[in-house]
């Protein structure tokens, strides 16, 4: 048999591996290749069907969704859902979970662009087609991403009936689920939704905090609650409360925020300085200066920005006392601040230098 | 009144078209900026409503090109919330009004009526 191999190679090969096994190995290899090709062909065919169906669905769904959007009364909506065209779409596409999920996505996208009665119509449609049941089933899923999507859907479609179940997820071990649940709570019931801050034991990451602050833009802030969170054992809850104070300028909490300057967490102290910058009063500069030597370098630099804005002549002594212990860059900042607030700054600095050299002389002796 | 609506989001496109058709206007639609410019050139609509983000040519490009050519067709720009800079740019280019998403189709209808009365 001609194998394309040289005589010697062929001889050696057939000596080591019998020809029978080589034929079997080739057959197996061919089989595997065929299997892979079949799988690829099936995958591409299936994907193509999904793309084509997706396009068909988009057209069919956009027709009924846009008609629902412009309905102005409940009667018009009722007429729409009893229309033959609507029933056809419902029977053809909304029986499969693929179609229902696609419809939910389209509803969400449309809902984000609309306000007023149009948005309400979409919520009505979501409930009429019992799509909230689909979201509810996903909420019970063990897969974290399904749970997170379900929470998002229920919140965007204003499903307050699921509040208790969503609340349970606000301290979930998984940060994605936790974030969605926490944001959903605020979306659904406003500031009241933040009550999970009282029980949350997992960290509220900076990203979560920013998402929540964004949600709070349109709701009234309840200062007593924020005050309570400033004393939370969870440092990230304190940090979040400070962000609220900073963003919404809760002046009445200035003293409570000043108390956070001695918090063990540096993130909290930094955020406290930022918050104080927004709500500073006559005592703020003094409160900062008194804690100054305990700050880390980055806290000190941030604190200097605040002092540059709010320190006055009454803080001069305290500021001067900071000079001996500080590194060069901070000393320069403090000196230029003293220069800003006192015409006798030159004399003050000279006094500090004199007392420093006196100390140095004593050490040398 | 002949109105051109340009938006690449099918639901929004159909919604606005349905609403304005219900108000008695003639509607032209497109889902991309390049075709919008062609329609403006060819069909000379009385009003253009355009989204900012669109394939081939953005809403801003449409405003810029139309106004640069000395065309006085009023243009309403649809923008997403928080796009203040884009809206300002659209006004600088000559846009006549803007509507920020999320919006109510009824509000859009009222704005269109205002342009009609002018």
Q: CA nearest A61 in B: which residue?
A: B11
Residue keyed to tokens 């938006």: B7
Q: Under a CB-based contact definition with an 8 Å cutoff, are residues A55 and B7 in contact? A: no
ipTM > 0.90 (yes/no): no
Say yes or no for a CB contact (<8 Å) between A70 and B105: yes
pLDDT tens, N- to C-terminus, chain A (365 residues): 555 556 777 766 667 777 788 888 899 999 999 999 999 999 999 888 888 877 888 888 999 999 999 999 999 999 999 999 899 989 988 888 888 999 999 999 999 889 889 999 999 999 999 999 999 999 999 999 999 999 999 999 999 999 999 999 999 999 999 999 999 999 999 999 999 999 999 999 888 899 899 888 878 888 889 999 999 999 999 999 999 999 999 999 999 999 999 999 999 999 999 999 999 988 899 999 999 989 999 999 999 999 998 888 888 888 888 887 788 888 888 888 888 888 877 777 877 777 766 665 666 65
Say yes or no for a CB contact (<8 Å) between A63 and B14: yes
Q: Under a CB-based contact definition with an 8 Å cutoff, are residues A303 and A270 in contact? A: no
* Residues A56, A88: Cα–Cα separation, whole Å: 13
Encode pLDDT of A183-221 as tens digits. Answer: 999 999 999 999 999 999 999 988 889 989 988 887 888
Report the gap between the CA of B80 and the closest CA in chain A (Å). Answer: 8
Q: Under a CB-based contact definition with an 8 Å cutoff, are residues A109 and B11 in contact? A: yes
pTM passes above 0.90: no
Q: Could you tell me which of A340, A332, A338 has the C-alpha nearest to residue A319?
A: A338
Nearest by CB to residue A114, choosing from B14, B17, B102, is B102
* Residues A96, A103: Cα–Cα separation, whole Å: 11
Q: Could you tell me which of A209, A290, A296 has the C-alpha nearest to residue A245?
A: A209
Report the gap between the CA of A115 and the closest CA in chain B (Å). Answer: 5
């Amino acid at each position: 048999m001609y194998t394309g191999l040289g005589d010697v190679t062929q001889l050696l090969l057939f000596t080591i591996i019998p020809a029978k096994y080589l034929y079997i190995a080739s057959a197996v290899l061919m089989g595997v290749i065929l299997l892979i090709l079949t799988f690829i062909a099936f995958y591409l065919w299936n994907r193509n069907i999904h793309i084509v169906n997706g396009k068909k669905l988009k057209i069919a769904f956009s027709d009924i969704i846009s008609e629902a959007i412009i309905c102005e009364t409940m009667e018009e909506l009722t007429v729409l859902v009893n229309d033959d065209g609507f029933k056809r779409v419902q029977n053809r596409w909304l029986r499969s979970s693929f179609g229902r999920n696609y419809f939910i996505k389209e509803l969400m996208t449309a809902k984000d662009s609309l306000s007023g009665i149009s948005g309400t119509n979409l919520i009505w449609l979501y409930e009429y087609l019992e799509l909230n049941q689909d979201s509810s089933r996903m909420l019970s899923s063990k897969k974290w991403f399904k749970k997170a999507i379900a929470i998002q859907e229920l919140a965007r479609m204003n499903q307050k009936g699921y509040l208790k179940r969503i609340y349970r997820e606000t301290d979930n071990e998984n940060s994605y689920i936790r974030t969605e649940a926490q944001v959903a709570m605020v979306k659904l019931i406003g500031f009241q939704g933040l009550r999970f801050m009282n029980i949350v034991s997992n960290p509220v990451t900076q990203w979560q905090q920013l998402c929540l602050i964004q949600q709070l833009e349109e709701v009234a802030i309840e200062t007593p609650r924020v005050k309570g969170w400033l004393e939370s054992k969870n440092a990230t809850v304190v940090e979040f409360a400070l962000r609220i104070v900073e963003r919404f300028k809760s002046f009445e909490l200035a003293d409570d925020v000043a108390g956070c300057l001695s918090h063990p967490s540096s993130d909290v102290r930094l955020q406290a300085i930022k918050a104080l910058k927004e709500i500073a009063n006559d005592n703020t500069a003094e409160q900062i200066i008194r804690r100054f030597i305990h700050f880390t370098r980055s806290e000190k630099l941030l604190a200097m920005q605040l002092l540059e804005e709010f320190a006055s002549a009454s803080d001069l002594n305290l500021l001067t006392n900071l000079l001996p212990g500080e590194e060069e860059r901070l000393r320069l900042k403090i000196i230029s601040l003293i220069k800003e607030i006192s015409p006798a700054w030159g004399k003050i600095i000279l006094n500090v230098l004199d007392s420093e050299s006196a100390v140095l002389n004593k050490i040398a002796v | 009144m002949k109105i051109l609506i340009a938006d690449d989001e099918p639901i929004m496109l159909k919604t606005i078209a349905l609403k304005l058709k219900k108000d008695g206007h003639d509607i032209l639609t497109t889902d991309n900026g390049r075709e919008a410019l062609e329609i403006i050139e060819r069909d000379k609509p009385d009003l253009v409503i355009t989204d900012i983000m669109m394939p081939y040519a953005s809403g801003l490009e449409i405003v810029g090109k139309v106004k640069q050519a000395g065309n006085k067709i009023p243009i309403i720009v649809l923008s997403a919330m928080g796009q203040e800079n884009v809206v300002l740019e659209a006004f600088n280019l000559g846009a006549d009004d803007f509507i920020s998403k999320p919006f109510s189709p009824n509000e859009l209808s009222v704005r269109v009526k205002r342009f009609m009365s002018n």
